[in-house]
């Protein structure tokens, strides 16, 4: 039986996607060739990447609004510098909500002056700062919508007069937002969209071309747009599998549908964390993530027992990130509700026998 996979990333993918992807590795489109041994410029693969790009814009509600969807490499980590390379002339504003924002800030500092509008570092990033102002004299504002490590999620976004850039790696396609408020969204595929190896960028084309520096071609969004994500060989397997996941999501009913499922899953787990006297949540209640729930045992002496129990219950990937400790249950789109129920059952069993 497949394990209940709470891995924070690379993440669980739908069974049918894994099945189709593995079939395509052997025989793609019944053409007696593998997906990973045909030219990326052949029609079958060009169809794949075009379909993936249009599914992205369709699911996000960004068709015909001046946005382009790109499939790149280098992970979300590459976007930390690519964003600044392409958009930062003099000064940019960043909201610091954890390790990933911190890393984005560090890279952007190579390109200009940075204003940290607020930070939740004082409490090991267990909350989202609320009262801050985005300056008007910056080239853009950058934030991280979901903080994978700490289990916090931005529930609202500031009104800005400058372009808004968002790292949505761990909650893209999980909830409805007005995506047209953002001018650039990026996400490493391996959290909620596909396997590691490709990074999605959705960019409003009119924010580009405003910096004075020379940009190396492979890091230049405009060049990647002009080459339709084929400046060089794209990661064909990662793009194909991401496309399958996007198709799966669309067939289910898109973000509107999956958001309801995600809310059910997180409500089930958080209500157990709050009810069960053996556990406590890590993140501030109002900022809790629907994707990554962080929690700890009240009594650390129960750890060995609890660890043994969830592992025996066929659960994978529950250990917290080393900088937070405790536990982290990542409930990405493909994780079924019954997996969360399996975890809740173990938590209740622990209470019963303790």
Ligand X SMILES: *Cc1c(COP(=O)(O)O)cnc(C)c1O
In whole angstroms, how far apart are CA 220 and each of 87, 200, 227, 300? 10, 15, 11, 49
Annotated active-site residue in 100, 183, 287, 310? 100
Residue 167 touching ligand X (CB under 6 A): yes
Residue 170 touching ligand X (CB under 6 A): yes
For ligand X, the binding residues in 172-211 under the rule CB under 6 A are 188, 191
Q: Respond yes or no: is residue 248 known to be catalytic.
A: no
Of the two residues 126 and 169, which places its CB atom closer to ligand X in the complex?
169
Residue 332 touching ligand X (CB under 6 A): no
Of the two residues 153 and 160, which places its CB atom closer to ligand X in the complex?
153
Of the two residues 28 and 188, which places its CB atom closer to ligand X in the complex?
188
Annotated active-site residue in 191, 248, 287, 310? 191
Contact pattern from residue 82 through residue 121 relative to ligand X, giving x for each residue in contact according to CB under 6 A and a dash for the rest:
------------------x---------------------
In whole angstroms, how far apart are CA 10 and each of 18, 74, 146, 171, 198? 13, 15, 16, 13, 12
- Distance between CA atoms of 207 and 139, rounded to whole angstroms? 10
- Distance between CA atoms of 298 and 212, rounded to whole angstroms? 54
Residue 142 touching ligand X (CB under 6 A): no
Q: How far is the CB of 209 from ligand X (least distance, A)?
A: 26
Q: Of the candidates 77, 276, 341, 348, which one interacts with ligand X according to CB under 6 A?
A: 77
Q: Of the candidates 126, 144, 198, 296, which one interacts with ligand X according to CB under 6 A?
A: 144
Of the two residues 283 and 347, which places its CB atom closer to ligand X in the complex?
283
Residue 150 touching ligand X (CB under 6 A): no
Cβ atoms of 62 and 70 within 8 Å: the answer is no
Residue 73 touching ligand X (CB under 6 A): no
Residue 76 touching ligand X (CB under 6 A): yes
The region that residue 10 occupies, defined by phi over 0 for left and psi between -120 and 50 for alpha, beta otherwise, is beta
Of the two residues 109 and 321, which places its CB atom closer to ligand X in the complex?
321
- Tell me whether strands 199-204 and 67-72 are parallel, antiparallel or unpaired: antiparallel
- Distance between CA atoms of 225 and 227, rounded to whole angstroms? 5
Residue 289 touching ligand X (CB under 6 A): no
Annotated active-site residue in 68, 139, 167, 204? 167
Q: How far is the CB of 42 from ligand X (least distance, A)?
A: 27
Of the two residues 290 and 344, which places its CB atom closer to ligand X in the complex?
290
Q: Respond yes or no: is residue 100 known to be catalytic.
A: yes
Q: Respond yes or no: is residue 65 known to be catalytic.
A: no
Q: How far is the CB of 87 from ligand X (least distance, A)?
A: 17
Catalytic residues: 100, 167, 191
| Contact residues for ligand X, defined by CB under 6 A | 9, 75-77, 100, 144, 148, 167, 169-170, 188, 191
């Amino acid at each position: 039986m497949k394990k209940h996979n709470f891995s924070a990333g690379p993440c669980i993918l739908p069974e049918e996607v894994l099945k189709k992807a593995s079939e395509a590795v052997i025989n793609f489109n019944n053409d007696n060739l593998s997906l990973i041994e045909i030219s990326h410029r052949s029609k079958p693969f060009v169809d794949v990447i075009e379909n993936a790009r249009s599914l992205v814009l369709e699911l996000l509600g960004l068709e015909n609004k001046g946005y382009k969807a790109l499939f790149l490499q280098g992970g979300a980590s590459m976007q930390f510098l690519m964003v600044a390379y392409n958009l930062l002339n003099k000064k940019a504003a960043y909201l610091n909500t954890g390790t990933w924002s911190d890393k984005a800030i560090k890279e952007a500092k190579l390109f200009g002056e940075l204003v940290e509008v607020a930070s939740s570092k004082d409490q090991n990033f267990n909350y989202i700062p609320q009262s801050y102002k985005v300056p008007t004299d910056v080239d853009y504002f950058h934030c991280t919508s979901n903080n994978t490590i700490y289990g916090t999620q931005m529930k609202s976004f500031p009104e800005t007069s400058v372009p808004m850039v968002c790292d949505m790696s761990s909650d893209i396609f999980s909830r409805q937002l007005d995506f047209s408020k953002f001018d650039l969204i990026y996400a490493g595929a391996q959290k909620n969209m596909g396997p590691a190896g490709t990074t999605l960028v959705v960019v409003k084309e009119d924010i580009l071309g405003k910096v004075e520096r020379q940009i190396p071609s492979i890091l230049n969004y405009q060049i990647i747009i002009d080459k339709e994500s084929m400046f060089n060989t794209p990661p064909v397997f990662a793009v194909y599998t991401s496309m399958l996941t996007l198709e799966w999501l669309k067939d289910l009913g898109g973000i509107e549908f999956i958001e309801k499922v995600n809310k059910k899953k997180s409500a089930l787990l958080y209500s157990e964390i709050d009810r069960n006297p053996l556990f406590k949540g890590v993140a501030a209640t109002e900022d809790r993530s629907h994707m990554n729930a962080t929690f700890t045992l009240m009594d650390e002496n129960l750890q060995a027992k609890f660890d043994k129990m969830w592992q025996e219950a066929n659960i994978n990937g529950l250990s917290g990130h080393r900088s937070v400790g405790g536990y982290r249950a990542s409930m990405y789109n493909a994780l079924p509700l019954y997996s969360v129920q399996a975890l809740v059952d173990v938590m209740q069993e622990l209470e019963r026998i303790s």
